[in-house]
Amino acid sequence: MGNLLYRLRCWLERLMYGRNGTDQLNLALLVVYVALVALQAVLVALYPFEPVSGVFSILQLLTAFFILFRTFSRNLEKRRRENAAFLGWWQPKQRAFRAWRGRVRDRDHKYFKCRSCGARCRVPRGKGRIEITCPRCHSKIIGRS
Ligand SMILES: [Zn+2]
């Protein structure tokens, strides 16, 4: 059994040698694929004779094909550029979402956004009506904490 697993691993390593394999873009495409499958399942459950579900099948096929193509591609330079372009688009959104989640979870502070420069200012909660000076542009923010 151990021998078989070893041989399987060697085979896989030989197969993937010089190929792109998995990257963040492929992972994102996998999420898209799963979402398409789930959406189609919901659609079919609600409207059994809806022809639109066929469109989902085509989209799933295209996504799966693109994932396989990118995984086994030998054009590493091009796949790396695609992945970098994806990350350039995705990472600012991910950062904004994490910052927002952090603000929502923070029960001890209230956050104000400066109207003139957009900076976020954090103040302790429960101090009533307050006036804050923006640390970046020094304009006044008046709010309730
Ligand atoms: Zn400001």
Read off the pLDDT of residues 90-122 as tens digits, 9 standing for 90 and up.
999 999 999 999 999 999 999 999 999 999 989
Instruction: Quote the ligand 1 centre to 131 CA distance (angstroms).
Output: 13
Residue 92 forms part of a structural domain: no
Is the residue at 99 inside a domain?
Answer: no
Cα(137) to centroid(ligand 1), Å? 4
Q: Give pLDDT tens digits for 19-56.
A: 999 999 999 999 999 999 999 999 989 988 777 888 99
How many separate domains does the chain show? Answer: 2
Note down the domain range covering 135. 104-145
| Phi, psi (rounded to 5 degrees) for 25 | -65, -40
124 lies in some domain = yes
**Percentage of the chain modeled with pLDDT above 90:** 77
Phi, then psi, of 119 in degrees rounded to 5: -70, 150
Q: Which three-class secondary structure state does DSSP give residue 107?
A: coil
Query: 72 and 116 share a domain?
Result: no
Q: How many residues does the chain have?
A: 145
* Assessment of whether the complete model's pTM goes beyond 0.85: no
Comparing C-alpha atoms, which of 35, 27, 36 is closest to residue 90? 27
How far, in Å, from the CA of 15 to the mean position of ligand 1? 55
Residues 66 and 116 in one domain: no
Q: By the 8 A CB rule, do 121 and 111 touch?
A: yes
| pLDDT computed for residue 87 by the predictor | 98
Structural domain contains residue 145: yes
The whole-angstrom separation of Cα 35 and Cα 139 is 45
How much is the pLDDT for 48?
Answer: 82
The CA 132 to ligand 1 mean position distance, Å, reads 10
